[in-house]
Each structure stands twice: as structure tokens, then as C-alpha cells.
Amino acid sequence: MQVKTPDWVKHAVFYQIYPDRFARSARIQHARGLEFKAWGTDPAEQGYQGGDLYGIVDKLDYLKRLGINALYLNPIFSSASNHRYHTYDYLEVDPLLGGNAALRELIDQAHHRGIKVVLDGVFNHASRGFWAFHHILENGTDSPYLDWFLIKDWPLRAYHSDEQNPSNYEAWWNLPALPKFNIKNPGVRDYLLEVARFWLEFGIDGWRLDVPEEIDDEAFWQAFRREVKAINPDAYICGEIWGHAADWLKGDRFDATMNYTFAWSAMSFVGAATLRRDYIKEHMPLTPLSVHEYKQVVERMLGWYSTEVNHAQLNLLDSHDTARALWIMGEDKSALALCALLQMTLPGAPCIYYGDEVGMSGADDPFCREAYPWHEPGLQDQELLSTYQELIQLRHDHPVLRTGEVRFIDCDNPELLLFMREKGKQKALIVVNRTKSLQSLNLPASEFQNYIQEWPATHQSGAIGNQRRLAIPPQQGAVLLLEH
């Protein structure tokens, strides 16, 4: 089967937003009597800090200036949790976020600025409050929706369960708040496909799919793709699969996955000197990597899939499910900037987790889910923000950095990472010095003398005989381009 992924994704820079914690708008009219936690409250307190979709609309110009042209939103449908992975109504945007009207305005305003909007689809499980499960809780074995879930015995232990008395129905991670759908039930399949169609017809540009491997039903995902692409052939389908996913990316299910291999390898290489050894995360084998080891990981990763898929992979560093990249790398902002350089110059669509660009940090959930510090400008690192803006603009300015072929280059300095991107007559040389000392290298002048250093703007090269000599300052990189 020929694999074809949406072209716009190959040119996208995504920004992931956790809606409750990104921005609160003064325009939203909540019902009287509601109380939110103060903006910036310790995320360990859970609860709701009042971020909403109108708040995202209010910040679209900021995101546009940053260079963002695609949003990935964590779940926004009605739910009784601030992360909203406990969905109780898939056809209504949570009123605390502004309801369907707020999503309408967000899509319209984002599209007006050339920004795509991708939603999070949680179709493996619902919540106790989901209408069909609630019907079972009220009616027991008399409910006609009984087969929509996977119930083992009665009475249901929907609120009180422990190791000795676990939930007596299938639930995600055995959490009674998250009953698992019976995907084999035709009514469930019809309902979930209706949800997918409804929001695509509403105007979204794609789906990020939560824990899709838990739905072990190839035919369901094939049907999902057919429904999605029938409405919008350019809609993006990205699955949350943390490792090798070749079976899912053959052209009959997903366009791409969340590329956690990119994430852990980039941090393990760039942040080798400061990597936190006490952070253990399944599917993220964080360990210091040499230049040679990093090349091996990336070449293996790119070898898993076709070029079409590699250029559409969602290349993240961190997310709501991990500690912040800055925290993982021991608060080393120079290392974070180098990771951003890799995001903007290696194949795949970069995805920035909200606030990384201004130096937000934090350990694993819930600490990676704090409020964006709009309320404390002093916590926003403007120098880091400028670096992100420059790197994103560099990617936008040069197609070779988005869809060029990639190959690694050996050089006379084993401490430096070099790779090329090539697209027709356009060529880009990327050099990364992750060490804390000045590093230099010699390149054949016959091949590289006409390359112009585009980033950073300060020129760090000179000629020695028939060699072009580059000097790369500590924990910095360089991008040189040749465009005919």
C-alpha cells in the first residue's frame, strides 16, 4: 500500500496546550458561583485553574509570532477532571472551557492566522459519568447498554476498589473512574466513528489518539481512517505509540505517532552531562549517549518508516505525560536550546509543549502541568524565547530543513555531531557541540566554502589552506546553507 501523509504536517510546527493551564480569558462568562484555584497554584493541588479556549484565542497572536502553525490540544470534551481524559460527553466541549462556541471561535481565529487545530481523541475508555455507563450504574443488568462495556460481575465497584477488591469491569490501568469501551460492540463503534466525523465536520484538522494500542482491533482503526479521510483527506491522524510502530504506519491506520524515540534520544545526547539519573520512565531509556550512539539511534528510528511518515512524525521533547525536558536535563537551558535545534532541523514535525519556550520546568505529572506564567513575566526567559523564535523561523524559511533528505557526516572532531539535509540544489549542514568547551573542525573548502552560516548570525568560520575551519562555542550549534 502506498503511504501518503498530509503535506501540511511536513511544514508544521506544533504547540501542545493543556487547556486548563495555558490561559484564562476575561471574556468567558461562567455561571455565577463557580470558584477556580488561583492561577499559578501548585499543580500538586489538582483542581481547576480556569484556563479556557477563549484564553487560547487571546494568545494566538503570541503563538503566531513564535512561529506556530499547528495546535495540539489535550482533551477538551466534557469531563470531571482537569486533564479531561475522563470524558462524559464526546459531543460537547466542556462548559468550563467555553463550550462548543469557544471551539468555534478558536478554530475560526486559528484558521484565519494559518494555524491548524488537532484534538485529542480518547476512545479506549470513557468515565463513570459517560451517559451509557451511568445508565448501567442506575439500571444494572436491565440496562440495554450493558454490552457497551466489559463487565465481569455484580454489583459494580465503581467507586471503591483496591488490590483485594479491584474493579469488576475492564478499566484503563484498573482505575474504576475509566471504564473501558467494548469496541467489538457495533453500537460503540458507530458512536465513536460518529464522534470522529462530527468534529471533523465542525472544522478540526485532525486527531491525536490516546493509547490506541489498548484498542487491539485493526479493523476499527482502519474504519476510523476511512471515515476521517472521507471527510478531510488532509486530516492528520497521530497515535500515541511510544516506540516502534511500523504496523500502524502502513497507510491503512495512522499518519504518524508521537515520536518519543526522538525525545529521549535528543535529551540523552544533548543533555548527557546533566541528565537526571533519578528519572525512570517506561519506554524512555534516558541514558547519556555519545555522538556515535546518538547517530545510531536516529538512523534506526528513521529506518523504521518511509520518508512520508518520517516527515510527518510528531517530534516532541516532553508532554503532559512526562517531566519537562528542562527538568530532565538538570535545568540546563543551553541543552534545551540545542534540543530545539535538533527539533527544527531533523525530519518530522516539531512539537513544543506549552511554556518550554520560556523555560518552564517541572517533574512528572502533576508538576509538568503547571500554569503558564503570564502572571509572572519574570519567570519567562526572553532569551530562550528568542532562540526558539529564531530556530522556528529558520525552519520556515528553508524547505530543505523540512523535507530534505538527511545523512550524518563523519568529521575530524569526535565531539561534534554533523548532518546534512539535501533537497534538490538546496543543502544544509547542521553542527552541534553539546560539550562545555569550544570545539572546532575542518571541512573541505572545495565542498563547503560557499555555505552561508544562517544561524547563529555571528560568523564562526575561516579558511586555512584548502580547509574551511569552523569554531563552535560551548553548547551551541550552527546551521550553514547552500542555496542555488
Considering the candidates 210, 255, 370, 390, report the single residue annotated as catalytic. Answer: 210
- Three-class SS string for 249-286? CCCCCCCEEECHHHHHHHHHHHCCCCCCCCCCECCECC
Under a CB-based contact definition with an 8 Å cutoff, are residues 86 and 80 in contact?
A: yes
Please give the backbone phi and psi of residue 124, each rounded to the nearest 5 degrees, phi first: -75, -35
Q: Is 210 a catalytic residue?
A: yes
CA atoms within 13 A on the CB side of 170: 13
DSSP, res 145? T
**Residues present in the chain in total:** 484
Cell of 89: 460527553
Cell of 12: 508544521
SS3 352: strand
Q: Is 92 a catalytic residue?
A: no
Quote the CA–CA distance of 150 and 188 in Å, as a whole number: 12
Considering the candidates 240, 255, 357, 370, report the single residue annotated as catalytic. Answer: 240
Dihedral over Cα of 149, 155, 157, 162: its sign: negative
Quote the CA–CA distance of 8 and 229 in Å, as a whole number: 15
Quote the CA–CA distance of 346 and 75 in Å, as a whole number: 28
Quote the CA–CA distance of 213 and 433 in Å, as a whole number: 37
Residues with a known catalytic role:
210, 240
